[in-house]
Amino acid sequence: MSSLAQPSLQSCKVLLVEDDPRLLEMLVECVVQRFDAQLTCVGSAEDALDIEMVEPHDIVISELHLPGLDGLSLTRHLMELSDRPVILLAEEPAMSHAVEAMRLKAVDMFPKPFAIGDLMDSMDRAMSEHLKSRRFKAKHRNLRQLVRQVLRQRRELNGRIDLICRDLVGAHRRLIQRVLNRETNHAQ
């Protein structure tokens, strides 16, 4: 089934934050079957943040109701570290949870029970969009560097042209002065 894996999640790093061992096992099995991704599994938001500080992941799938920090707090902290897709899983999420998740730019929230195929599709779409955005930002950053380099070279070239023009004007004045001096000397 891995031959059907979408290229967007090939060789990416997935962080699964789930405190239910049975659900975590099912998620791991499905992600491994569908994608060729490197998985890290933790049971708390605090563990997830510790791992993210050392080894950032490309996408995070997190339970909303975790012991200690909840999934929304985790999402907030993750977005402060760097932009990445976060998908939340929740048993009976409140409307306020969904609104806060959207405000924090979580890409999706799945109420339990959910269709695992829908979650896998959401992961694929989220990573595909994230990779497109990352490539666009890299291209934009490269273009800005290129523009800065062109402007710097243009300033340097303008400085050189000004220097050459001043040298030419000075040489022309000296030549005219010599011609005038010769004519003055020949006239006397």
CATH number of the domain to which 54 belongs: 3.40.50.2300
* Cα–Cα distance measured from residue 127 to residue 14, given in angstroms and rounded to the nearest whole number: 10
In a domain, 162, yes or no: no
Percent of the chain whose pLDDT exceeds 90: 65
Asked if residue 176 belongs to a domain, the reply is no
Across 55-64, average pLDDT: 93
pTM of the model: 0.71
Mean pLDDT, residues 106-123 taken together: 93
Residue 30 in this model has a pLDDT that exceeds 50 = yes
| Cα 50 off chain centre by | 20
Amino acid at 5: A
Is it true that the peptide bond before 113 is cis, omega within 30 degrees of 0?
A: yes
Q: Indicate the number of domains in the chain.
A: 1
Q: Tell me if 166 is assigned to some domain.
A: no
Residue 82 lies in a domain: yes
* Residue 111 belongs to a domain: yes
Placement of tokens 């000004």 in the chain:
162
Give residue 45's domain range.
2-137
The answer to whether position 74 is within a domain reads yes
The pLDDT of residue 5: 40
In a domain, residue 157? The reply is no
Tell me, what amino acid is at 47? D
pLDDT at residue 10 in the model? 61
Residue 25 pLDDT: 93
Tokens linked to 42: 């933790």
Is 180 part of a structural domain of the chain?
Answer: no
